[in-house]
A = this chain, B = another copy of it.
Amino acid sequence: VSDSDLLIDHHREARTGVPELVYGASKTAAQVVAALRDLAADGRGAIATRVDAAKAAEVCAALPAAHYHEVARVIELAAAAGAAVRPACAPIAIVCAGTSDVPVAEETAVVAGFLGAPVVRITDVGVAGIHRLLARVDDIRACGVVIAIAGMEAALPPVLAGLVDLPLIGVPTSVGYGVSVDGLVALGALLASCAPGITVVNIDNGVGAAVAAVRIGRLAALAAAGMKAAR
């Protein structure tokens, strides 16, 4: 199993609009380096997620152009100047309830940014003080799509879904102890929500939320451009 055994799917961006993203948790540093190099060969950069600090140090030593987002645990090779630009994307609101959810929010933000999306971060608006969320509803409505990140009882996304008409993606997080330790309660709460229209991704899955939001955000950007042109 040498590093050169990797069979990168180079046509994925052509088929699906989004390139292959390297899942770093189960790869060695050498495998991450090889995969990033291979993916970035077209000049549009590359991303590896779930990379802890020690592995990141090894990778960045081998790839001086790489940047490590510490809170997000993401390594990013930026696109080269002059590379093909990705399609325009409407702003994505990334809303979360407290500091515990910030690592997942940052993973989401970095991946979305790499894929060309402007990001609006809204933090510390948990439902235990509902006025904080109500104060930010207009900021959220100004975006094209919303990602709501929540652990424990995950009550924030259902409340938010009743306040806006945007596509809304919920990300449950594995925060807390007792019944909430592994995020299954938050996941269940988002799936069971009585506010129709919420869709959900795996626990702590910032990458999946970002990719789904970008697919939608690109439509929203086109829609906004069309409405502007129509005026």
Contact = CB atoms under 8 A, between A and B. Distances in A.
Copies of this chain per assembly: 8
A18 B203 contact: no
A31 B190 contact: no
A9 B224 CA distance: 29
Given A16-B197, A189-B188, A230-B226, A166 B215 contact: yes
Nearest to A8: B124
Contact of A26 (B161, B172, B175, B197): B175
Contact of A159 (B5, B127, B187, B209): B127
Nearest to A228: B226
Interface string A44-71: 0000001000000000000000000001
A213 to B, nearest CB: 9
A138 interface: no
Which of A176, A179, A194 gathers the greatest number of chain B CB atoms within 10 Å? A194
A6 B99 CA distance: 8
A196 B21 contact: yes
A132 B5 CA distance: 14
A184 interface: yes
A-B residue pairs, 4 tightest by C-beta: A226-B226, A178-B203, A222-B223, A7-B124
Interface of A: 1, 5-7, 9, 11-12, 15-18, 21, 23, 25-27, 31, 50, 71, 97-100, 102, 106, 123-130, 132, 134, 144, 152-155, 158-159, 161-169, 172, 174-205, 207-209, 211-212, 215-216, 219-227, 229-230
